[in-house]
């Protein structure tokens, strides 16, 4: 098994191709961006959601998100162990899956989706409680996935309030 020796190193693509969990955790390569990998991973999530949306009902999307979340806990945990740090910058599955959840509950339209993207990134970066708790205290795949799930919840809440106020 190949492990990265320093946590600051950006792993090469071949590292992620050596195990399916690593490929998933890095968002199929989107986490390898040298600039803002979390943002690039979220953009990948947005694009993949747009491709899936016409083919899946809300229930099917929610089921997919639940399965992707549970699988993500495992993939992110394994990849974090292999990299030597549980929330390495190249791990972006934790951005992708929770952002899908935001988009399921987002009002239709590109403007709303753009607002959803900005809100999700804001809450993911700022990490209001309890997101900060998961980020700082739960050092495993579950904690990595949950801090972004909380950010998604905050984004959905703000979008719902905005929609209510604008209607």
Q: What is the pLDDT along the chain (167 residues), one digit of tens a residue?
A: 545 444 557 788 888 889 999 999 999 999 999 999 999 999 999 999 999 999 999 999 999 999 999 999 999 999 999 999 999 999 999 999 999 999 999 999 999 999 999 999 999 999 999 989 998 999 999 999 999 999 999 999 999 999 999 98
Per-residue pLDDT of 10-38, as tens digits, reads 788 888 889 999 999 999 999 999 999 99
For 82, residues 6+ apart whose C-beta sits below 8 A from its C-beta are 1, 2, 3, 4, 15, 19, 22
User: What is the value of pTM for the model shown?
Assistant: 0.92
Is residue 89 within 8 Å of 97, Cβ to Cβ? Answer: no
Q: Quick one: pLDDT at residue 5? A: 47
């Amino acid at each position: 098994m190949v492990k990265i020796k320093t946590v600051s190193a950006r792993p090469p693509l071949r590292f992620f191709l050596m195990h399916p969990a690593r490929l998933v955790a890095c968002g199929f390569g989107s986490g390898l961006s040298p600039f803002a990998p979390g943002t690039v991973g979220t953009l990948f999530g947005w694009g993949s959601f747009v491709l899936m949306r016409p083919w899946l009902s809300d229930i099917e999307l929610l089921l997919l998100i639940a399965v992707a979340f549970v699988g993500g806990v495992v993939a992110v945990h394994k990849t974090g162990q292999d990299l030597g740090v549980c929330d390495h910058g190249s791990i972006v599955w934790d951005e992708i899956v929770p952002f899908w959840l935001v988009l399921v509950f987002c009002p239709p339209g590109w403007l709303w989706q753009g607002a959803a993207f900005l809100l999700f990134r804001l809450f993911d970066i700022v990490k209001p409680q309890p997101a900060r708790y998961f980020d700082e205290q739960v050092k495993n795949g579950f904690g990595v996935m949950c801090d972004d799930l909380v950010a998604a919840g905050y984004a959905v809440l703000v979008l719902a309030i905005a929609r209510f106020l604008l209607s």
